Amino acid sequence: MEKLIITVTCDSTMSYPRNPYNPKGLEALAEEYIRSVNAGAAICHLHGPYTVDEKIRADGTKLSDLDIPGWLRLKMLITDKVKPIIQYGIANGRFPQRVELMKQHPDMMSICFNAHDECFQPDPQYPPVELYGIHDREELENYCRLTQQYLIKPEVEAFHYGAIWNAQRMIQKGILDTPVWTTFFLGWPGGCWTPSTVKALQYMHDHKPDHFNYSVSDMDPPTHWQVLAQSILLGGHIRVGMEDSPYLDGKGTLARSNAELVEKAVRIAREVGREVATPEEARKIIGLKA
Q: What mean pLDDT is predicted for residues 221-241? A: 97
> What pLDDT score does 241 carry?
98
Asked if the model's pLDDT at residue 290 lies above 70, the reply is no
> What pLDDT score does 239 carry?
98
Whether 1 is in a domain gets the answer: no
For 124-176, write each residue's pLDDT tens digit: 888 999 999 999 999 999 999 999 999 999 999 999 999 999 999 999 999 99
Whether 54 is in a domain gets the answer: yes
Whether 148 is in a domain gets the answer: yes
Whether 234 is in a domain gets the answer: yes
Structural domain that includes position 79: 6-286
Q: What mean pLDDT is predicted for residues 257-286? A: 98
What pTM was computed for the model? 0.97
> What pLDDT score does 289 carry?
74
Whether 253 is in a domain gets the answer: yes
> What pLDDT score does 90 carry?
95
- Count of domains for the chain: 1
Task: Read off the CATH number of the domain in which 216 is found.
Answer: 3.20.20.70
Confidence label for 118 from pLDDT (cuts 50, 70 and 90): very high
Rounded CA-CA distance 85/88 in Å is 10
Q: What mean pLDDT is predicted for residues 32-45? A: 98
